Chains A and B, each alone.
Chain A
Amino acid sequence: MRIGIVDYGVGNLKSISHAVEKKGGKAVITSSPDELRRCDGIILPGVGAFRCAIENIAPIKSEILELVSDRPLLGICLGMQILASESEEGGLHRGLDLIPGKVTRLTGDIKIPHMGWNSLRITRYSELFDGIEDGSYVYFVHSYFMRTDERFVSTKTEYGVEFPSSVVRDSVMGTQFHPEKSGDTGLRIIENFIDMCRR
C-alpha cells in the first residue's frame, strides 16, 4: 500500500514514515498532488500553529479535497484539527471543513500543553481501532482540541474536559494523539489505517 504523507512544511515526518514502513506500507513523503493521486491513502501530519498549517496547505487544498472522495485520509494532531470547519487558535481561521466542528483551547486547572500519555475511551466503533482495548494509552502533545458532533467522535480522553481524541467521518479520520509515538498501540492504529487503504 502506498501511503502519501503530505509534506506541507510542518514538523517531523520521519517518525510517521518509519511507522508506516514498519507496518508494511510504502511511505511517500510529498507535496505533489500527482504523487498523492498515486497513493492508496493519505496521512496529514502536523505540528505547529493552525493558521500556519492552513496557509501552507492552501496551494493543494482543492486537490486534497478531491482525493479524499475515493481514498482514506488520516489527520494527526494538527492534521486532525485542520479537518474541522474552523479554529479559534490565534484568531478565527477556516479549516478544510471535512468534519463539521470547531477547534478551541483546552481549559481548566491543568498544565497546557496537554503533553504525555493519556487513555482512550472508545465511544463508537471504527475499524481504525480494531484490536485496541478500551483504556489503552496513547501519546498527546496539544493545546487545542476539536469540538464536533457526537456522531463523528470515536474516542474520548479526559484532560480538564473530556474531549474527542479521535474523529471518523466515513473515510476521513483524525487522531489528536500521535500514533507514531504511541508504542505498540499506535503502530496497531497505523496498521489498521493501512488495511483500510486496501480497498
Chain B
Amino acid sequence: MLTKRIIPCLDVTFVEGEGRVVKGVEFVNLRDAGDPVNLAQRYNDEGADELVFLDITASHEGRRTMIEVVEKTAEQVFIPLTVGGGIRNIQDIENLLCAGADKVSINTSAVKNPDLITNASDIFGTQCIVVAIDCRRNPRVEEGRTVVKLEDGSHAWYEVVIYGGREPTGIDAIEWAKKVEKLGAGEILLTSMDRDGTKDGYDIPVTRKISEEVRIPVIASGGAGTPEHFFEGFVKGGADACLAASLFHFNELSIKELKEYLKSKGLEVRI
C-alpha cells in the first residue's frame, strides 16, 4: 500500500556565501539550524520520505548557492529532493534538475505566469512540477468564492497570497488548486499562512477541501506542533504527505518517533 509521507522542509539562506538552514516565525527572528547538507543526511537517516529545500532569499546569489547545496546533497542522500524559492523560468528549473533535484516547487511565478506550469510539465513531466499554494483565510464572504466552514462553525474563503505571504492576490485558493492541476501540476504543496509557525496544527478545512477537489497529491504544510497534528492532517485533511520544519530541526520531535506513532494509529508509513 502507498504510504503517507513525512517531509522535512529546510529553509535555506546563506551566511558569507554558505548555505544555512534557518527557521523563524514569518521570516523574522531567524534561528540557525545548521548546514543544509548535514541536516539532509540526518533526516535521511531518521527515515524522512522526501526533502524539500526552500531558498528563502529568492535572490540571484541564493539560487547559485542552492545549486551547490542540491549537488552536494544528491551525492549522499538517495531519497527524492524538491527545491523551491525564486524559480522564475524554464532555465531555473533545468539548472536545479541537472544539479540533482527530482522536483521543483513554483509559487509566485506560477501565479504571475500560469503558462510556466504547462510549459515546465510538458518539458520535464508533470511528476516534477510541484505548485506551492500559500493561502490565508478571508472572512469577508463574497459571491463567487468557495466558502469553507471552519472549526468554530464560522465561514471564510481562502485567498492565495504570494511573495512569502506579503501580497494578497484576490485569487480563490480552491479554484486555483483545480486550475493548477489542469495546467499540469503534479502535486500541490499547500501552506496555510494562518497556521504557519503557530504549532496549532494544520489548517484542516482548506486541506480537506483541496484534497477532495483535485486528483493529484496534496502536501499539507504550516502549523504542525505534535504527532497528533500529523495524524489529523492525513486522516481529517486527506493529505498525502505532511511537511514540517522547525519541529524537526530543533529536535522537538524525531521523524522516527513520529512514524512509530502514526503506525500505532494504523497508518501505513515507511519505517
Complex Cα distance, B127 from A47, in Å, reads 9
Give per-residue flags for A1-31: 1 if the beta carbon is below 8 A from chain B beta carbons, else 0: 0000000000010110011001000000000
CA distance A119 to B79 in the complex (A): 15
Are B78 and A116 within 8 A (Cβ)? no
Is B80 within 8 A of A181, CB to CB? yes
Min CB gap A188→B, angstroms: 11
Chain A CB within 8 A of B75 CB: yes
A48 with B240: CB separation less than 8 A: no
When chains A and B are docked, how far (Å) is the Cα of A101 from the Cα of B79? 29
How many residues on B have C-beta within 8 angstroms of the other chain's C-beta atoms? Answer: 31
Question: With the chains together, A19 CA to B77 CA distance in Å?
Answer: 9
Question: Which residue on B lies nearest to A142, using beta carbons?
Answer: B127
A124 near B: Cβ within 8 Å? no
Smallest CB gap from A137: residue in B: B270
Whether the Cβ atoms of A116 and B3 lie closer than 8 Å is yes
Contact B100 A115 (CB under 8 A): no
Name B78's contact: one of A48, A49, A114, A180 (CB within 8 Å). A180
Interface residues of A in 43-101 (CB under 8 A from B): 47-49
Is there a chain B Cβ closer than 8 Å to A186's Cβ? yes
Main secondary structure of the interface of A (DSSP, over half): mixed
Name B's interface SS. loop
| Residue contact A48 to B125, C-beta cutoff 8 Å | yes
Instruction: Kindly state whether residue B35 has any CB partner on chain A within 8 Å.
Output: no
As a 0/1 sequence over residues 87 to 117 of chain B, the CB contacts with chain A under 8 angstroms (1 = contact) are 0000000000111111000000000000000
Q: Does B5 contact A (CB under 8 A)?
A: yes
Q: Mark A163-187, 1 if CB is under 8 A from B, else 0.
A: 0000000000000000011111011
Write out, one digit per residue, whether chain B residues 38-67 have a CB within 8 A of any chain A CB (1) or not (0): 000000100001000000000000000000
Nearest Cβ on chain B to A180's Cβ, whole angstroms: 6
Q: Which residues of B contact A15 (CB under 8 A)?
A: 74, 78, 100, 102
**Distance A113 CA – B75 CA, assembled complex (angstroms):** 26
- B215 at interface (Cβ–Cβ under 8 A)? yes
Q: Which of B13-48 contact A (CB under 8 A)?
A: 44
B235 to chain A, nearest CB (A): 17
Q: Shortest Cβ distance from A103 into chain B, in angstroms?
A: 16
Collect the chain B residues with CB atoms within 8 Å of residue A114's CB.
2
Which of B3, B79, B126, B215 has its CB near the most chain A CB atoms (within 10 A)? B79
User: Are B1 and A158 touching (Cβ within 8 A)?
Assistant: yes
Q: How far in angstroms is the closest Cβ of chain A from B210?
A: 13
Q: Is A139 in contact with B79, judged by CB distance below 8 angstroms?
A: yes
Residues of chain B within 8 A (CB-CB) of A183 are 44, 78-79
B216 within 8 A of A: yes
Asked if A113 contacts B3 (CB within 8 A), the reply is no
- B127 pairs with A117, CB closer than 8 A: no
Q: With a CB–CB cut-off of 8 A, which chain A residues contact B172?
A: none
Minimum CB distance partner of A14 in chain B:
B100
Residues in A129-156 with C-beta less than 8 Å from chain B: 137, 139, 141
Q: Which of B126, B216, B240, B270 neighbours the largest number of chain A CB atoms within 10 Å of its CB?
A: B270
A182's closest neighbor in chain B, by CB? B78
Q: Does the CB pair A113–B240 fall under 8 Å?
A: no
The residues in A between 102 and 127 inclusive whose CB is less than 8 angstroms from any CB of B are 111-119
Residues of B within 8 A of A111 (CB): 215-217, 240
* Cβ-defined contact, A115 with B187, below 8 A: yes
CB distance A181 to B102 under 8 Å? yes
| B102 near A113: Cβ-Cβ < 8 Å | no
Tell me, in angstroms, the Cα distance from A137 to B269 when the chains sit together.
9
Chain A nearest Cβ from B23, distance in angstroms: 25
For residue B241, which residues in chain A have a CB less than 8 angstroms away from its CB?
116
Closest to B241 in A: A116
6 A-B pairs closest in CB distance: A137-B270, A14-B100, A117-B3, A117-B270, A141-B127, A118-B2
- What residues of chain B have their CB less than 8 Å away from a CB belonging to chain A? 1-3, 5, 44, 49, 71, 74-76, 78-80, 97-102, 125-128, 186-187, 215-217, 240-241, 270
Please list 6 pairs of residues, one from A and one from B, whose beta carbons are closer than 8 Å in the complex, sorted by A's number: A14-B99, A15-B78, A15-B100, A158-B1, A184-B78, A186-B78
A residues lining the B interface (CB < 8 Å): 12, 14-15, 18-19, 22, 47-49, 111-119, 137, 139, 141, 158-159, 180-184, 186-187
